[in-house]
Amino acid sequence: MPVSDIIYIISTVSITQAILEIGAKKFVFDKEGYKSKISALERARIRKDRTLALPAPQNTNSKSNAKAAEKYMKKIKQAEDDYNMAASAVAQKHMAPRILGSFVFLILYRILNTEYQGKIVALLPYEPWGIIRYFSMRGLNFSQDFSVESVASDQITSVNQACSFLFLYALCNMSVKFVVTQLLGKKAPPGVDRGILSFIDDPRGQKILEELGVNTAEIDEMKKALK
């Protein structure tokens, strides 16, 4: 369990994530297609803000005012749909590198796991709780002659402090990858950083969900409740 193993795993995850972020910037975010979608999103946002700023018809009792109110609501709905479609188009550009990154790190996990499977790669400074220990020691294989003294008598007091590769790799994915992404990654513009919700708000996405038998009205109610 040399420290070099820990450094090697952390540096491998960091370098891999950095390469993915730089590659995404060069081949996706610096391309004209992405920039044009960003421009379309900004124009749609301006149109939506202007439409929402229009005064709503006050009196809807008369027939003419009722038609004006209906026209007003249709204009708002159209502006919101245009904005959601533009946001979905930008979100697709951000989603592709994430999907690729997931596949890359799955392959990286399999490669590193063949080297560190069953080995103790780190020692926790304390004996973790049972539920954490279930993950931290997952996949470890202890030989029959294993003892606490054989690992590091000055650092470990219980075998339960042993940490497997899987646990360390998961921690790297939650921390190291996040830091690298914050430093080198391309942040999604406001309105696009909601993940799959950007696709659900898209009228085309709602149509697909309806064809699959999903009640989009219930989804809209859930989104309103979460706000």
Confidence band, pLDDT 50/70/90 cuts, at residue 147:
very low
pLDDT at 153: 47
Cβ(27)–Cβ(20) under 8 Å? no
Confidence band, pLDDT 50/70/90 cuts, at residue 6:
confident
Cα–Cα distance list, 135 to 14, 140, 171, 175 (Å):
22, 10, 11, 17
Q: Which two tokens stand for residue 165?
A: 């590769």
Cα–Cα distance list, 2 to 5, 6, 148, 157, 163 (Å):
6, 7, 16, 18, 13
Domain residue ranges in the chain: 3-55+70-195
Instruction: Choose the weakest-confidence range: 118-127, 129-138, 191-200.
Output: 191-200
Residue 155 has pLDDT above 70, yes or no: no
- pTM of the predicted protein model: 0.74
pLDDT at 61: 65
Cα–Cα distance list, 58 to 12, 52, 62, 67 (Å):
63, 15, 11, 12
Most confident of 27-41, 70-84, 188-202: 27-41
The residue ranking higher by pLDDT, 140 or 200, is 140
Instruction: Give the mean pLDDT of 199-204.
Output: 67
Dist CA 99 CA 92 (whole Å): 10
Instruction: Give the mean pLDDT of 202-221.
Output: 66
Cβ(93)–Cβ(203) under 8 Å? no
